[in-house]
Amino acid sequence: MSLKKVGLLECDHVRDELRHIAGDYCEMFPALFAQVAPDWEFHFYDVCNGQFPASVDACDIYICTGSKSSVYDDDEWISRLKEFVVSIYKSNAVYIGVCFGHQILGEALGGKVEKAAVGWCVGVHHFQPTVHENWMQPVTDSFNLLMMCQDQVVELPPYATLLAETADCPHAMFRVGERMLGIQAHPEFPKAYDQALMELRVERIGEKKVALGIASLELPTHEIMFAHWIKNFSS
């Protein structure tokens, strides 16, 4: 079994007081994919603090995390990350964007990201595939994943293929070409962490939406199935 080098582009870090739940993102992502891709060897790049791979060829696969930042913020590391995403697009590497990483894929390749008219999406959301591609195995007509976002991709980049939508997020998953994939969900989040974030952000999100989000955590989620999809896509 040959190892695949996976570069985690860390666009944020878990707050110190919440790390007891499941660690930082450098622990959440390996914990998820260890269950479906034991041949993945993770390498960590603290891009929000200016630490980037020396070359796009450093890894076979890149996973770009969520962030409290917005992709349209005027930060040097965000501009540099957009340039790096374009470099990945021009290379043979695979890119998987999660939440902020999904949005940066859209912006870097010519789409548009804004604050969503519906406001925050939190808790468990119901995703419906708009197409079924060969790598989307096992096949399903719907799946549930956790969300924690205020921004959304409101215009897809040119030549993008829409793959899934939710009631509140029309561009919930898309790909560009055969190696670039974005998902507006958080398959790496444990429910306990999603709840803790909601409880910390009640003033920003709103009491009613947080209450509904926490209640939704009773629903099943399908992050392992989705991890299989990502592994298939990356093969």
Alpha-carbon distance 40 to 38, whole Å?
Answer: 5
> What residues does each domain of the chain span?
4-234
pLDDT value at residue 1: 53
pLDDT value at residue 231: 97
Q: Is the pTM higher than 0.85?
A: yes
Strands 151-155 and 160-165: what pairing?
Answer: unpaired
pLDDT value at residue 121: 97
- Residue 3, classed as helix, strand or coil, is coil
Q: Which helix (H) or strand (E) holds 84?
A: helix 76-89
pLDDT value at residue 60: 98
Provide the residue type at 125 as one letter.
H
| Of 101, 103, 120, 121, nearest in space to 111 by CA | 103
Q: What is the dihedral of CA 155, 161, 165, 169, to 10 degrees?
A: -20
Give backbone dihedrals phi and psi of 63, rounded to 5 degrees, phi first. -115, 125
pLDDT value at residue 57: 96
- Residue 132, classed as helix, strand or coil, is coil
pLDDT value at residue 138: 94
Looking at residue 183, what DSSP letter applies?
E
- Cβ atoms of 48 and 81 within 8 Å: the answer is no
Spell out the per-residue pLDDT of the chain, length 235, in tens. 579 999 999 999 999 999 999 999 999 999 999 999 999 999 999 999 999 999 999 999 999 999 999 999 999 999 999 999 999 999 999 999 999 999 999 999 999 999 999 999 999 999 999 999 999 999 999 999 999 999 999 999 999 999 999 999 999 999 999 999 999 999 999 999 999 999 999 999 999 999 999 999 999 999 999 999 999 999 9
Class of domain 4-234: alpha beta
